[in-house]
């Protein structure tokens, strides 16, 4: 259960309106790697977590914080939309605004009446499919770390797309939190390993001796780039705690060309 306070976790006050930039910010609100994704993902992983204690508690704490980031971004976008040119000519007192008009999102005005929504910078709605909660915390924590990397990367790029000091101040906060959260998920993944709850390869509980070993340690080269095997991934000990060595060899076929039987004639496929 949640309670809400109107006060913001961090200030979200641009120096002035900028409909072009409002459209771009939608990416980190409603895009695949935006705040909606991490908020609902960490909460879902927390609710679904069948292991009580620190991991579950932490997931629900972070997910709840991310809801505040959603709120911050919505507020920032709303204020950037305080003025949006409705026609090309009103946009055209300068070439700058001509360019910006072209980039602005018409749905911000037509659909939302000057407000944010849950879509990305190209207008694609946010999808519940962005959320992963696999039931395996090791896989999920690696995904969460990735999400924070992608998030920090995108906000850093957006940071270079504006000169608005108020906007940049808010972005600095989000970048710092993404910094912390990267460390958090990597630390949590390490702790899972230390707690004996999983290991590489994930899931550790699948028995390694069910795997054909000739395929578990070899880089199979299927392209003619000369340096493909010149990395740690094809040399040195395996990273799974066994004493196998990583190697490389060209890709090869291990089975004949398949011959499929005729199809069911009631399906009217091309007859054989």
- At its nearest, how many Å lie between Ca ion and the CB of residue 171? 11
* Total of residues contacting a second copy (CB under 8 A): 198
List the one residue out of 124, 126, 164, 125 whose CA is nearest residue 38.
126
Out of 14, 40, 80, 167, the residue judged to bind a second copy by CB under 8 A? 40
Footprint of Ca ion on 149-178 (CB under 5 A)? none
Out of 16, 156, 165, 245, the residue judged to bind a second copy by CB under 8 A? 156
108 contributes a contact to Ca ion by CB under 5 A:
no
- Nearest residue to Ca ion, using CB? 69
271 contributes a contact to a second copy by CB under 8 A:
yes
245 contributes a contact to a second copy by CB under 8 A:
no
Q: How far apart are CA 236 and CA 234, in angstroms?
A: 7
Asked if 240 and 217 touch (Cβ cutoff 8 Å), the reply is no
Residue 123 interacts with which of Ca ion, a second copy, none, CB < 5 to 8 Å by class: a second copy
Asked if 182 and 56 touch (Cβ cutoff 8 Å), the reply is no
The token duo for 88 is 């090309």
**What DSSP character marks residue 262?**
P
- At its nearest, how many Å lie between a second copy and the CB of residue 102? 2
193 contributes a contact to a second copy by CB under 8 A:
no
The token duo for 109 is 């005005």
243 contributes a contact to a second copy by CB under 8 A:
no
Residue 15 interacts with which of Ca ion, a second copy, none, CB < 5 to 8 Å by class: none
- Which helix (H) or strand (E) segment holds residue 220: the answer is strand 218-221
Residue 238 region, left (φ>0) first, then alpha (ψ -120 to 50), else beta?
beta
- At its nearest, how many Å lie between a second copy and the CB of residue 151? 10
The token duo for 40 is 């609902």
Residue 27 C-alpha from the chain's centroid:
11
- Which helix (H) or strand (E) segment holds residue 249: the answer is strand 247-250
Footprint of a second copy on 101-120 (CB under 8 A)? 101-107, 109-120
Footprint of Ca ion on 38-77 (CB under 5 A)? 66, 69
Positions in the binding site for Ca ion (CB under 5 A): 66, 69
């Amino acid at each position: 259960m949640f309670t809400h306070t109107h006060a913001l976790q961090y200030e979200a006050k641009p120096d002035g309106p900028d409909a072009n930039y409002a459209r771009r910010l939608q990416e980190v609100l409603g895009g695949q790697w935006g705040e909606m994704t991490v908020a609902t993902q960490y909460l879902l992983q927390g609710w679904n977590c069948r292991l009580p204690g620190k991991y579950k508690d932490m997931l629900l704490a972070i997910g709840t914080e991310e809801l505040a980031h959603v709120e911050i971004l919505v507020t920032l976008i709303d204020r950037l939309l305080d003025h949006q040119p409705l026609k090309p000519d009103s946009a055209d007192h300068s070439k700058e605004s001509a360019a910006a008009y072209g980039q602005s999102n018409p749905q911000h005005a037509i659909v939302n009446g000057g407000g944010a929504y849950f879509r990305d910078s190209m207008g694609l709605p946010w999808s519940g499919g962005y959320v992963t909660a696999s039931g395996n915390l090791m896989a999920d924590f690696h995904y969460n770390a990735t999400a924070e990397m992608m998030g920090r990367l995108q906000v850093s790029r957006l940071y270079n797309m504006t000169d608005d000091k108020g906007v940049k101040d808010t972005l600095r906060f989000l970048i710092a939190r993404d910094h912390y959260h990267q460390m958090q998920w990597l630390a949590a993944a390490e702790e899972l390993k230390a707690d004996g709850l999983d290991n590489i390869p994930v899931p550790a509980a699948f028995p390694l001796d069910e795997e054909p070993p000739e395929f578990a340690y070899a880089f199979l080269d299927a392209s003619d780039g000369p340096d493909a095997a010149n990395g740690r991934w094809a040399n040195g000990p395996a990273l799974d705690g066994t004493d196998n060595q990583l190697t490389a060899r060209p890709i090869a076929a291990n089975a004949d060309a398949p011959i499929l039987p005729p199809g069911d004639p009631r399906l009217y496929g091309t007859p054989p």
